[in-house]
Structure 1
Amino acid sequence: MGMAHVMPIEIGFKHCDPAGIVFYPRYVEMLNDAVEHWLKHGIGKGFALLHGERRVAIPIVNLQVDFVAPSRLGEELEAELRIEGVGRTSLKVAIELRGAGPAGTRRVHAKLVLVFIDMNSMRPIAVPGDVREAMIAGRYWEG
């Protein structure tokens, strides 16, 4: 497996329910944030380029999430994204959300399948060659 992309997350008021813990749908938003952050900062192929200029979307078509431990207002977390596989049109990703630092407690473990689609036809397309090359060059995946 290749390198991991790590993104810091600060748990804010917007993430929490009245009990002061992260409301579970907010974790799904954090997973999407991690994908978006990796595309932009990890491989230089952000949503602005893909969605805007190239009209390529990458929706999640399968999502498996294990909620392991709660997170609280004011905590610092890290999202660690790893590529588990690349198909012709799809990308398999694993993301862990955990407390910041090497000894951070695991909070969420997720597996995502994303599919590259043409935004005009809404049909799957091959993973763009430059995206594939950027994943290999960044050592996120061993093409």
Structure 2
Amino acid sequence: MSHHVPQKVLFKHCDPAGIVFYPRYFEMINDAMEDWFAGPLGAPWEVFHKTNACPSVEINVTFMAVSRHGDQLDLRVQVEKLGRSSVTVLVDAYCGDQQRFAARVTLVCIRSDTTRPEPWPDEIRTQMERFSG
């Protein structure tokens, strides 16, 4: 199961040639992760981050095709691997049938007061399991 996040490519995402400037994809990936936590995981970051945090410890992205101003992207979020205190998430972006990028993001759950790895809270872990491939 995948969580879908629609993303229209806006003027602010583009360089002077009218294509997405690659750092803006990282913002889109982060927005998709935040939407996933707030929606199906039931853990909006503004609440979750009061006691915990989930920093990205690794991000790998492969870019397959350019996206242009006005394109309608579908960012698909899916769990590749769920550990005790980490999760590796795949974020794939499509415009229609064409894949634009594939990202692999590893997040680690930490206590915000110690910055040490902490097991995912049971209610969040249960929801993440629903998105395992």
Shorter-normalised TM range: over 0.9
Gaps of 5+ in 1: none
RMSD: 1.3
State whether structure 2 residue 111 is matched by structure 1 residue 118. Answer: yes
TM-score by length of 1: 0.88
Counterparts in 2 of 1:60-99, with a 5 A limit?
60-99=56-95
2:68 maps to amino acid: R
Quote the Cα distance in structure 2 between the aligned partners of 1:38 and 1:60: 15
Hey, what does 2:131 align to over in structure 1?
Answer: 140
Q: Counterparts of 2:108 and 2:2 in 1: how far apart (Å)?
A: 20
- Cα displacement string for residues 91-122 of structure 1 (whole angstroms, at most 9, x for unaligned residues): 010110110x4x2x111101111000111111
Give how far 1:17 is off.
Answer: 0.6
After TM superposition, the score normalised by the length of structure 2 is: 0.95
Q: Could you give the per-residue CA deviations for residues 32-61 of structure 1, whole angstroms, max 9, x where no partner exists?
A: 111111111122111022013xx2111110
Q: Which runs of 4+ in 1 moved over 4 A?
A: none
Counterpart Cα distance in 1 of 2:60 and 2:132: 21
Is 1:131 aligned to residue 124 of structure 2?
yes
Match of 2:47 among 38, 46, 49: 49
Q: 1:109 aligns with which of 99, 102, 110?
A: 102
Q: Give the aligned partner of residue 16 of structure 2.
A: 18
